[in-house]
Amino acid sequence: MGRIAVVALAFWLTPLRAQQERPPVFRADVRLVRLLATVKDIYTGHLTGGLNKEDFTIYDNDVRQQAAIFERTTEQPLSIALLLDTSGSIAKDLKIAVDSVKRFLSALFREGNPADEVALYTFNWEVQQHTAFTRNFQQIEKRIQPLKAEAGTSLYDAIHYSSRALEKRNGRHVILIVTDGGDTTSYYKYHDALEAAHRADAPIYSILLMPITNDAGRNIGGENALTTLGQSTGGRVFTPSAGPELDQALAEILRDLRTQYFLAYYPRNLPRTDKRFHTIRIEIARADLRAITRSGYYEDATPHQPELK
């Protein structure tokens, strides 16, 4: 009996010893990391289509990964969280902004995937969700037309709450913000908003209206925050004046969304790290092209947060 116990103990210790001698390897959760990539010519800025899977190389924390999914022109439906600033400072341009947004939505629903949907949020000192995700243009128009501008700007709260709603959606996720400046009244901070957008796999596209052309009067802090939010999530920021330039910016966003590549991979062979954030980069085989995508993802689970009232 004693001999059997010794043999069993030796058998049990052998794999442990071998495991200790192996270099530690961290494997991220079996989650599929999803990437939307816009590819542009570095000289002209023009969008580039027609690339193949072999033209893309993905790196996760500098470790090369294998794409499990590649779609050149993705058919995955869009879920767009439309965040419209209704703070007091935007009052002069709110009606013009609303009219441009309506034209954007009309083009989106007319030309896109029949499953594309939009949810309307507004933010001033508080965040309000006016519609669930819908394709009903008349419903959105009914809620957007009577909006009035007042009070502060809770931009980061709006990003946080809309990101949580996007997490539950299938397909592609996008946050589109129309605003004139920085945050003044949010409970959540910049990094909270950024993390929420990353967890929702949602690039942030911002339309930063510029009612003040004098540099001394511009909200540089707000402008910089929107720029870094866009760069980190794979989106962009535009700075048009209200009117035709606003229409052009929204049309360019729509072109971006229609020409995105979709790639996805299961993280493998990653060295152990205590960092919650994994950095991602995509390299293109052609030196004249650049891929724009989000800068990374959070590996751990999302902590529970209160629901939007």
Q: What is the CATH number of the domain that holds 116?
A: 3.40.50.410
pTM value surpassing 0.95: no
- Is residue 98 located within the same domain as residue 200? yes
Q: Is residue 264 part of a domain?
A: yes
The reply to whether 271 and 244 lie within a common domain is no
Please indicate, yes or no, whether residues 34 and 150 belong to a single structural domain of this protein: no
C-alpha dist (Å) from residue 147 to 88, 127, 243:
12, 13, 18
| Tens of each residue's pLDDT in the chain, 309 residues | 444 343 333 333 334 333 444 444 444 446 899 999 999 999 999 999 889 999 999 999 999 999 999 998 777 899 999 999 999 988 888 999 999 999 999 999 998 889 999 999 999 999 999 999 999 999 999 999 889 998 899 999 999 999 999 999 999 999 999 998 789 999 999 999 999 999 999 999 999 986 555 554 555 667 889 999 999 999 999 988 877 889 999 999 999 998 899 999 999 999 988 888 999 999 999 999 999 999 999 986 444 344 454
C-alpha 149/C-alpha 86 separation (Å) is 4
State the number of CA atoms in the 13 A half-sphere of 80 facing the CB. 27
Residues 264 and 253 in one domain: no
Answer yes or no: do 139 and 275 share one domain.
Answer: no
Same domain, 58 and 94: no
Are 169 and 280 within one domain?
no
**Within-domain flag for 239:** yes
Quick one: 58 and 155 in the same domain? Answer: no
Range of the domain at 254: 78-258
Same domain, 91 and 138: yes
Instruction: Domain count for the chain, please give it.
Output: 2
What is the rounded distance in angstroms from the CA atom of residue 212 to the CA atom of residue 92?
11
